[in-house]
Each structure stands twice: as C-alpha cells, then as structure tokens.
Structure 1
Amino acid sequence: MKIQGAIFDLDGTLLDSMSIWDSLGENYLKSIGKVPKHGLKEKLSAMSLTQAAEFFISEYGVNISMQEILRGFNEMISGFYTEHASIKMGVLEFLKKLKQKNIKACIATANDRALVEIFLEKYKLFDYFEYILTCDEVGSGKENAAIFNEALKALGTEKKRTYVFEDALFAVKTAKKEGFPVVAVFDESAVKEQEEIKSTADMYIQSFLEMEDYFD
C-alpha cells in the first residue's frame, strides 16, 4: 500500500459522533417550533451546515438569519463534542504511523472549521494534519468531488496514491468516481448501506487498527 497522502472525513470516520448529526436537523427545527418532515435526515446527509441552513429557510420558512441558524447548529454540536464525542479506535495509532513515515494528511469535512478545531484540540491532533478543508469553504458538499480535489492540490500528492477515508456511502461513491482509492470505515449510522459501501470502496475496515497490516 504505497500511500503518499491521506484525506480524512471527520464525523463517523475519525470521530464517533454521527449520533448528533443524525438528529441535528430534527432537534434544531423542534427548538424553533417547526415540525420536521419525513426523510429530513436523508436530505441533510450530503449537505454542509450552510446548505442545511439555506434548506431550512427555503423549505421550512425559517425566519432567522443564516448566521443565527449556523450559530444554533454550532452550539448544539460543540456541546456534544466537548461532553460526549470520542475518537475512534486505532485513529491515534494510525495517525502516528503516517507521521512517522512522512505521509501527508488532511481533513476534508462538511463540518464547521471551529468545530473541527475543538476536536483537534481535545485530542491534541493538530500536528498530524497539514490542512483542514471544509465544504463551506470549498463551496459544495460531498455530492461532488470539489473538496477532495482541493485536498489533493493542497497535499501535492498523486491521486492514485492519495487515499480517501470515509464512512458515508454518498461520499465513498463521489471519491471513488473521481478516481481516488477509497478506504471505507465502519460506522453504526451507515449499517443499512454497509454492503454497497463494501462493494464500492477499495477497502473496508471495522477500525483503524486494521490499517497496520497494510503498511509493509
């Protein structure tokens, strides 16, 4: 496995945190007196936070500014990160291995930069990543490959040797279609799509402890 670079999703991949994301939209709408519609979770799954806020304004008639909606999202998520979220098994060991081998790594996430920094500070992981890229900064969600291509450009590595680590089926499909080698990481939130994820990705792991076998 000749890795030159690694592009990591955050939630559900490095961080055991999908429970907050699965319920974020519904809980936020309820907090402002709106009734969530059926299928909301699925509609929001590929969206960045800004896209979700725009969706609430257009589809639910939320009469609140974009900035205020985003502030509400961030308050809910940051509290969860601080009190409940945990790093996934084997993540630290794998990141240390990449660092030892001078393999560049970055985070590419639909999350907000400030929230990513909360995670990195909590687990003292800043030194393991060259860059942080967010969907909002790139201008699109992971339904297209813009964020992966921007990450590749930032790392300056060969695409065929730059591995994308993702847990969600739609993101796995996007990266794979764009020509990246993809390692799919098990997350409980994606159990229903597990077989399709396995058949789409180049590799499928239950935890990052398994990555030790692929280095030498």
Structure 2
Amino acid sequence: MSIKGIIFDADGVLLDSMGIWDQAPEMYLRSKGITPEKHLGQKMFAMSMTEGAEYIKKHYLVDFPVTKILDGVTDTICTFYEQEVLLKPGVEETLRWIQKQRIPMTVATSSEKNVISKAFERLGIFSCFQQVFSCEEVGAGKDRPDIYYAAQQEMACRVEETIVFEDSFYALQTAKKAGFVTVGVYDRFSENQREEIQMLADHYLGKLSADQVRACIAQHDSGKE
C-alpha cells in the first residue's frame, strides 16, 4: 500500500492557534473595559460559541444582545487568524517536501473556511493544498468521518491510501475508525490526552518535520504497518 493523499487538520497541527479559543472571550471583555474572571477561557472552552456568548451576557454584559457579543468574540478570533497566527515549527519545511513528492494535500478544519484560508494566504501556504474543507461546509463535526471522506475524494485516492494528521483524540478516533492511516501531532493544548493519542494513532510526532513525515510514508509504501 502506498500513500497517495494527505489530510491535515489546521488548528494545533499546522497553525499555533489553539490558545485563541481560550483567550478570545477575555480579550473581548478587556476591549470593553471589563476585567474577566480568572480562567474564563478554560471555563468556556467546552461551550459552543452561542453558549459562551450567553454566559458573557449573563455575567458581564447584561444589556448586550447575545448576537452582538457573539459577533464581537468572532471578530476577535478572525482578527487573530488574519493578522497574528503563526505556523507551528517545521510546518513550512514539511509542506514543501510533500509538494516535491507530488503527493496531494487537503485540509479538514473545524474552524471557518474563510478564516483559515486567509491565514494560509498570509503565511504563504495556501497554494500547497488542493482544497480546504470545513465542518460547517460538509454539515458534520469531526465526530463523524464526513469531512475526511470529502477531503480524500477531492484527492481521488482510497481511504487506506490517505494519511490524516490530527492533534485531538476524538478526531483521530473518527479517522481511524473510518480506515484512514492516522498520525497524532503534539500540541500543548492537548497535553492531557497525549498518552491516549499515542496509543490510538498509527504514528505519533512531537512536531511536524519532513524527516518524520517521510518515515511515516515510507512505512506504508514498503507495506509495513
């Protein structure tokens, strides 16, 4: 079996961006002259965007409509992606190496497609990918394999010929159950799941590098599991 396609998650794999989801509510409140409670971002991490906006309204901005708060937090996140987010170490080198091997690449992200695309354009990696797919676009989160199937079909390769790079346990679990080759990538924001990810994934990388990705591909190209 040879590898004929690669799917990358964006946040936590290609982009050093997971922290903004903790920080955005606090940044938004400070922009309104309000000092947020300690660890507000951690408290809101498990909430949906709408639930988070409702929490902020209840505890801080009682006179603000939820929709206005939601727009404000979203704008904070979008500005970060468009102006500040950086690539994780080793990403550009890895992508350029894969391009030289003529292996097609796509992106499967839970974030908004437009925001990720703008970040990629600013960072000079947008042209590396055939397509960026978002969960919103395909109509399902990463607890279902729809987004991975869409990305794989775009590259015209079979599931078992496709590697999925992810930093979260639940996304890797979905991809693995669907039959994809899986590679877990370390991110400090998923540190608490590191052991589970290492046990689940077919491969585990402390960071992306051309040498390590080459080794993962070589194992499957040579028929080893």
Q: The TM-score by the shorter chain falls in which range?
A: 0.7 to 0.9
Tell me, yes or no, if structure 1 residue 92 matches structure 2 residue 72.
no
Q: Are the counterparts in 1 of residues 81 and 116 from structure 2 also a CA contact under 8 Å?
A: no
Tell me, yes or no, if structure 1 residue 106 matches structure 2 residue 106.
yes
Q: Are the counterparts in 1 of residues 183 and 202 from structure 2 also a CA contact under 8 Å?
A: yes
Q: How does 1:1-216 map to 2 (within 5 A)?
A: 2-24=2-24, 39-41=43-45, 43-44=46-47, 52-56=48-52, 63-65=65-67, 71-209=71-209, 210-216=212-218
Q: Distance in 2 between matches of 1:145 and 1:22?
A: 26
Q: CA deviation at 1:37?
A: 10
Q: TM-score, normalised by structure 2?
A: 0.78
Change beyond 3 A, Cα 1:159–1:72 = same
Q: Distance in 2 between matches of 1:71 and 1:153?
A: 34
Letter in 1 for 2:66: I
Q: Distance in 1 between matches of 2:97 and 2:41?
A: 45
Change beyond 3 A, Cα 1:190–1:162 = same
Letter in 1 for 2:14: L
Question: Which residue of structure 2 lines up, in the alignment, with residue 49 of structure 1?
Answer: none
Q: Are the counterparts in 2 of residues 53 and 69 from structure 1 also a CA contact under 8 Å?
A: no
Change beyond 3 A, Cα 1:71–1:57 = closer
Q: Distance in 1 between matches of 2:182 and 2:27?
A: 32
Segments of 5+ residues of structure 2 without an aligned counterpart are 59-63, 219-225
Task: Say which is worse superposed, 7-16 or 74-83, in terms of deviation.
Answer: 74-83
Q: CA deviation at 1:71?
A: 3.6
Cα-Cα RMSD: 2.8
Q: Are the counterparts in 1 of residues 28 and 73 from structure 2 also a CA contact under 8 Å?
A: yes
Q: Are the counterparts in 2 of residues 163 and 183 from structure 1 also a CA contact under 8 Å?
A: yes
Letter in 2 for 1:147: I
Segments of 5+ residues of structure 1 without an aligned counterpart are 45-51
Change beyond 3 A, Cα 1:99–1:11 = same
Change beyond 3 A, Cα 1:79–1:149 = same
Q: Distance in 1 between matches of 2:66 and 2:4?
A: 45
- Higher gyration radius (CA): 2
Listed one character per residue, the Cα deviations across residues 178-204 of structure 1 (whole Å, up to 9, x for unaligned) are 111111100000111100000011000
Alignment: residue pair count: 206
Task: Say which is worse superposed, 149-158 or 32-41, in terms of deviation.
Answer: 32-41
SS of the residue corresponding to residue 78 of structure 1 reads helix
Q: Are the counterparts in 1 of residues 163 and 180 from structure 2 also a CA contact under 8 Å?
A: yes
Change beyond 3 A, Cα 1:70–1:38 = closer
Q: TM-score, normalised by structure 1?
A: 0.81
Identity of counterpart residues, as a percentage? 32
